[in-house]
Amino acid sequence: MSYLNGQTGYREDLLNTRSVVKMGSYAVIEPDGIVKNAIPGYENCDVTILGSPSMGASFADYLITVHENGGNPSFGGEGLESFIYVVEGSITVKNEDEEATLTEGGYIYSPAGNTIAIKHAGTGDATLFAYKRRYVAVDGYSAHTVVANINDTPWMPYEGMENCHSKDFLPAAGDFGFDMNMHLLKFKLGGSHGYIETHIQQHGMYFLQGKAMYRIGDDWIPLKKGDYVFMDCYCPQACYGVGKEEDLIYIYSKDCNRDVQL
């Protein structure tokens, strides 16, 4: 069965999808048709693996619905850094350094090997966007736990543009202990990137609000809330915010602060 819409049995219309996978370039995964993954450690959770090394990513992205009494006692692993963002609902999180209750917009970054215990909190389901990656260490630097709520961080103009704004989740811009960062990017209707980017860093992106026409690789692709995108190294990319009312907002990861490994 599909994960988000509970579709079972035959459909009256022809089977169709907006999902596109081009190995070595990008993948677009729409909500309709993504499936649950049975994974040890998760209790009363619906889990979908969105991005993974199987598609060329250096990380894994998850969409997790935590039901009442649900959770995972150990998200992460030896040598793995991890990140959890609350899209909706409420959870409690705990690692070796911090314990907190996270509501919508709340997040935790946990450094390599410091796993996160997740438990349902409050009422109703909690929806999480989660990430883990093998940490790339550099002598003399180390990352640290970060717990906060992104709603408390002000929007900043993105590269000086007033119709495009961003937020950083982690202090990676001034700390080489971090080898990745998470960001929110917001485009007002008609807003766009200033240029088509082409860079070595990979992205995993989950669309939280609005609609976009996104240039990915050689294609212009319509995207909207609930879609997931993986972009591989050197994949050309840029977008316009489109639609009638809502601004476009998405969360995305980006590796940083490290030299090429030869």
Q: Compare 71 and 6 and report the one with higher pLDDT.
A: 71
pLDDT tens, position by position, 27-78: 999 999 899 999 999 999 999 999 999 999 999 999 999 999 999 999 999 9
Task: For 171-212, write each residue's pLDDT tens digit.
Answer: 999 999 999 999 999 999 999 999 999 999 999 999 999 999
Confidence check: pLDDT of 4 > 90? no
The DSSP line for 202-238 is: -EEEEEEESEEEEEETTEEEEEETT-EEEE-TT--EE
* Token output for 7: 């579709």
pLDDT of residue 3: 67
Q: Tokens 């619905």 appear where?
A: 65
Q: Where are the domains of the chain?
A: 20-255
| Beta bridge partner(s), residue 180 | 255
The phi and psi torsions of 53 (rounded to 5 degrees) equal -60, -20
Amino acid at 256: C
pTM, rounded to two decimals:
0.96
Q: What is the 3-state secondary structure (H, E, C) of 4-67?
A: CCCCCCCCCCCCCCCCEEECCCEEEECCCCCECCCCCCCEEEEEEEEECHHHCCCEEEEEEEEE
The chain-wide mean pLDDT, for the chain, equals 96
pLDDT confidence of 1, banded at 50, 70, 90? low
Query: In terms of pLDDT, which residue wins out, 13 or 247?
Result: 247
17, 48 in Cβ contact below 8 A?
no
Q: Which residues, 6+ apart, have CB-to-CB distance to 23 below 8 Å? A: 55, 56
Among 3-17, 38-52, 59-73, 156-170, name the one with the lowest average pLDDT.
Answer: 3-17
State the CATH architecture for 20-255. Sandwich (2.60)
% residues pLDDT > 90 (the chain): 93
Q: List the structure tokens of 190.
A: 């008609």
